[in-house]
Amino acid sequence: MKYQWYPGHMAKARRMMEDSIRLVDVVIEIVDARCPASSRNPDIDRMAAGKGRILILNKSDLADPAVTALWSSHFQSAGISCLAADARRRISVRTLTQMTQKVCEDRNARRRAKGMNTDHVRAMIAGIPNVGKSTWINSLSGRASAKTGNKPGVTRGGQWIAVGSSFELLDTPGILWPGMEGEKTGRNLALTGSMRDEVINIEELALELITYLLKSYPGALAARYGIDESETIDAQRDDMILRPGTSADAIRCMEDICVCRAFVRKGGGVDYGRAARAILDDFRSGRLGRISLEKPPAKE
């Protein structure tokens, strides 16, 4: 399955961001801590060239803490200022001040030379849909200034929000990019809810998640649904059409989940659609445990 979602409002948002970029000193890119590489938009990288940069690994409460620590040191050793965050908790303005002042050293030196104030910083908050940009701004400002929601595409226009006297933050709509490379990138963004479920085959996506969990987080599905993960089946069953990224065991697990949860269709037969929605919901809200979808490349 190819995952791709680039509706007109994103192209429009991208143009708005390109127009506004000259107004800001820093670009704060928010990514999903469960897949920090997949959730970085190369368009934002290009747009923000020459600006101070900060990377926030948000939703770290849902990610595997050991893997998030690997990502933090990976970005830091590449010279990228980064911070793991849970935007639903209060975020300290002081931490952000320290980070922005550091990435703004050149700008500050130029300003001081002209006798200008260096305390005030304007930042654009950018990232793909649903990673928590607006929640992060609200958490920093201590009030619900920006609209948030548990689906991609909530923020539509740009909105400036003042935080204390030192920050002005520009909330922007989440944007993806056309021509996304790599199956895994799209799959990860579909899993974390950065694409609309309506444009995705959620049953296939759930099977990909189960395949991944069986391999990388054994026991997570058994703990949640009471199924037996160790049972394996004959992959040659002729009613199965396996797609890349999914395994026969994943189909068997999905069927077992249907049985354990009594997800059956009216006329009989298991209800894959319901099981898929339950599994995706459970993953997205952390009920399957703290799970990361990718690790940084191993150091040489």
- Residues of this chain that interact with ligand GTP (CB under 6 A) are 58-59, 61-62, 86-88, 127, 129-135, 148-150, 152-155, 173-174
Q: Does the protein bind Mg ion through residue 130 (CB under 5 A)? A: no
Cβ distance to ligand GTP smaller for residue 175 or 250: 175
Indicate which of ligand GTP, Mg ion, none lies near residue 129 (CB less than 5 to 8 Å, by partner kind): ligand GTP
Structure tokens at 229: 């993960």
Q: Does the protein bind Mg ion through residue 139 (CB under 5 A)? A: no
Q: Does the protein bind Mg ion through residue 141 (CB under 5 A)? A: no
CB of 107 to ligand GTP, least distance (A): 26
- Is the dihedral angle over the CA atoms 14, 181, 64, 295 positive or is it negative? negative
Count of all residues that appear for the chain in the document:
300
Indicate which of Mg ion, ligand GTP, none lies near residue 62 (CB less than 5 to 8 Å, by partner kind): ligand GTP
Say how many C-beta atoms besides its own lie within 10 A of residue 43's C-beta: 18
CB of 121 to ligand GTP, least distance (A): 20
Cβ distance to ligand GTP smaller for residue 130 or 292: 130
Per-residue burial over 233-260, b = 16 or more CB atoms within 10 Å of its CB, e = otherwise:
eeeeeeeeeeeebbbbbbbbbbbbbbee
Secondary structure class of 26 (helix, strand, coil): strand
Say how many C-beta atoms besides its own lie within 10 A of residue 169's C-beta: 26
Indicate which of ligand GTP, Mg ion, none lies near residue 141 (CB less than 5 to 8 Å, by partner kind): none
Cβ distance to Mg ion smaller for residue 24 or 137: 137
Secondary structure class of 183 (helix, strand, coil): helix
Number of amino acids touching Mg ion (CB under 5 A): 4
Q: Kindly state the DSSP code that residue 49 receives in the 8-state scheme.
A: T
Interacting residues of 175 by C-beta distance below 8 A, sequence separation 6+: 10, 13, 14, 17, 41, 43, 44, 126, 128, 129
The rounded distance, in Å, linking the Cα atoms of 97 and 90 is: 15
Amino acid at 272: Y
Of 60, 108, 155, 188, the one binding Mg ion by CB under 5 A? 155
Q: Which residue is nearest to Mg ion (CB)?
A: 155
Cβ distance to Mg ion smaller for residue 20 or 101: 20
Phi and psi at residue 135, in whole multiples of 5°?
A: -60, -40
Indicate which of ligand GTP, Mg ion, none lies near residue 88 (CB less than 5 to 8 Å, by partner kind): ligand GTP
CB of 273 to ligand GTP, least distance (A): 23
Of 38, 108, 134, 139, the one binding Mg ion by CB under 5 A? 134
Q: Which residue is nearest to ligand GTP (CB)?
A: 174
CB of 134 to Mg ion, least distance (A): 3
CB of 138 to ligand GTP, least distance (A): 8
Q: Which of 216, 188, 181, 255 is nearest to 64 (CA)?
A: 216
Say how many C-beta atoms besides its own lie within 10 A of residue 271's C-beta: 16
Cβ distance to Mg ion smaller for residue 108 or 141: 141
Q: Does the protein bind Mg ion through residue 194 (CB under 5 A)? A: no
Structural element, H or E, at residue 7: none
- Please identify, among the stretches 12-20, 55-63, 103-111, 126-134, the one whose residues bind Mg ion according to the rule CB under 5 A: 126-134
Residues in contact with Mg ion by the rule CB under 5 A: 133-134, 154-155
